[in-house]
Amino acid sequence: MKFLVGFVVASFFCVANLALAGGDEYGMMAGNGCVNCHGVEGRGTTVGNIPPLKGRSKEFLVTAMEGYKTGTLHGTVMNRVMKDFDAQKIDVLATYFSSIK
């Protein structure tokens, strides 16, 4: 019985957190790898002069990611990171980071 009550309470908190997350859980999950360098929610960092992603226009982010993917832009690791990203994942990431204010 204690297990069941604990499970119900834990489930409630998980659902409540998803509801408060703003509805873009897929974008948040897709962007998890980005936070390693660009910081939480893509806020950027002063270490290594890594730029913020949050709040940038979707068009800018798509253009930049496609540039790294095709090799028209050059970065320290971004070309390697973007090489396996498809257009759908680029769109999801651009939508997510441009929506963060």
Please indicate, yes or no, if residue 31 is contained in any of the structural domains.
yes
24 backbone dihedrals φ, ψ, rounded to 5°:
-115, 55
* CATH code of the domain containing 44: 1.10.760.10
Residue 48 lies in domain: 24-99
Per-residue pLDDT band at 57 (split at 50, 70, 90): very high
**10 located within any domain:** no
Tell me if 61 is assigned to some domain. yes
pLDDT over 90, % of the chain? 37
Residue 11: burial class (beta carbons within 10 Å; 0-12, 13-18, 19+): exposed
Assess if residue 51 is contained within a domain: yes
> Using CA atoms, how far apart are residues 75 and 79, in angstroms rounded to an integer?
6
Q: Is the pLDDT of residue 30 over 80?
A: no
The crossing angle, in degrees rounded to 10, of helices 58-70 and 87-99 is 140
How many domains does the chain contain in total? 1
| Cβ contacts of 81 within 8 Å, gap of 6 or more | 33, 68
85 in a structural domain: yes
Does any domain span residue 38? yes
Q: 22 or 29: which carries more pLDDT confidence?
A: 29
Any domain includes 16: no
Average pLDDT, the chain: 77
